[in-house]
Amino acid sequence: MSLFITFEGGEGSGKSSQTRALYRQLTRLDIPAILIHEPGSTVLGEKLTRLLKWAQSTNIAPTTELMLFDASRAQLVQEVIRPALKAHKIVICDRYADSTVAYQGYGRKIDIDTILKINDLATGGLKPDLTVLLDIPVEAGFARKTGQEPDRFEKESKAFHQRVRKGYFQLAADEPQRWLVVNASLSKEKIQQIIWEKVSSLLTERAER
Ligand code: TMP
């Protein structure tokens, strides 16, 4: 049984700890799963990530940025995600195409319809079965990030990150059946429990088909 689950959210929303917790839970139950992260999780993707997150002296125009994220994604879908789904694994992906709509669309203000077309080309139309949005107010998210060197996106203005958050709300409202919106200010354990309830009910549904 395959299932494609993505996690989305702003800076400091706790995605990495929640994706790891879900992965551990599935593994404990002997359910085959993989955990990957965007951008990255392929050799090419890791090279692009270094540029996208950490380039300091290299100027990256918004359209170039959009295409680099989708280049990384195209490689990841072909090399990792589709083969894993074909092998009946659960794929947990920390960020996916919705990040591009939120950050490059709402954040950088690139036309959303253009982004959707490029995302579609990169993914070959592959959509997640479930997308978990870990929602946190911008200031609260950044307050969790103290002491770490900020990357290119963390250096963006508060207004940029507020547009990203608004973008996520819009995406979740447009497709409520795909999105699970979780208040990321709750305790880690409570968030884990909410996500597990949703994932286990999807697994049961699939098993009964
Ligand atoms: P992260 O490793 O903390 O998730 O950082 C990835 C950064 O890249 C994050 O600030 C969001 C940004 N990003 C985009 O702007 N567009 C995208 O399509 C993706 C996948 C990430």
Q: How does pLDDT run across 51-83, given as a tens digit for each residue?
A: 999 988 889 999 999 999 999 999 999 999 999
Peptide bond just before 137 cis, omega within 30 deg: no
In this prediction, residue 58 carries a pLDDT of 86
Q: Which of 96, 103, 171 to mutate to test the pocket of ligand 1 (most atoms within 8 A of CB)?
A: 103
| Measured distance CA(101)–CA(91) in Å, rounded | 21
What pLDDT sits at residue 206? 86
For the Cβ of 19 lying below 6 angstroms from any atom of ligand 1, the answer is no
Rounded Cα–Cα distance for residues 78 and 56 (Å): 30
Q: What is the CA radius of gyration of the chain?
A: 16
121, 133, 135, 102: which is closest to 5 by C-alpha? 133
* Cα 48-74-64 angle, rounded to 5 deg: 50
pLDDT for 44 equals 97
Distance (Å, whole) CA 38 – CA 45: 8
Between vectors from CA 144 to CA 65 and to CA 198, what angle results, nearest 5°? 80
Q: How confident is the model at residue 207 (pLDDT cuts 50, 70, 90)?
A: confident
> What pLDDT is recorded for position 56?
85
User: So what's the pLDDT on residue 92?
Assistant: 98
Indicate if ligand 1 lies below 6 Å from the C-beta of 13: no
**For ligand 1, is residue 65 a contact (CB within 6 Å)?**
no
Alpha-carbon gap, residue 13 to 53, rounded angstroms:
17
- pLDDT number for residue 33: 98
From the CA of 93, how far away is ligand 1's center (Å)?
12
Instruction: For residue 29, report the distance from its CA to the centre of ligand 1, in Å.
Output: 30
Q: Where are the beta strands (DSSP E) in the chain?
A: 3-9, 33-37, 90-94, 130-135, 179-183
106 lines ligand 1 (CB under 6 A): no
Q: Write out pLDDT tens, residues 121-169.
A: 999 999 999 999 999 999 999 999 888 899 999 999 999 999 999 999 9
User: What are the pLDDT digits (tens) for 73-132?
Assistant: 999 999 999 999 999 999 999 999 999 999 999 999 999 999 999 999 999 999 999 999
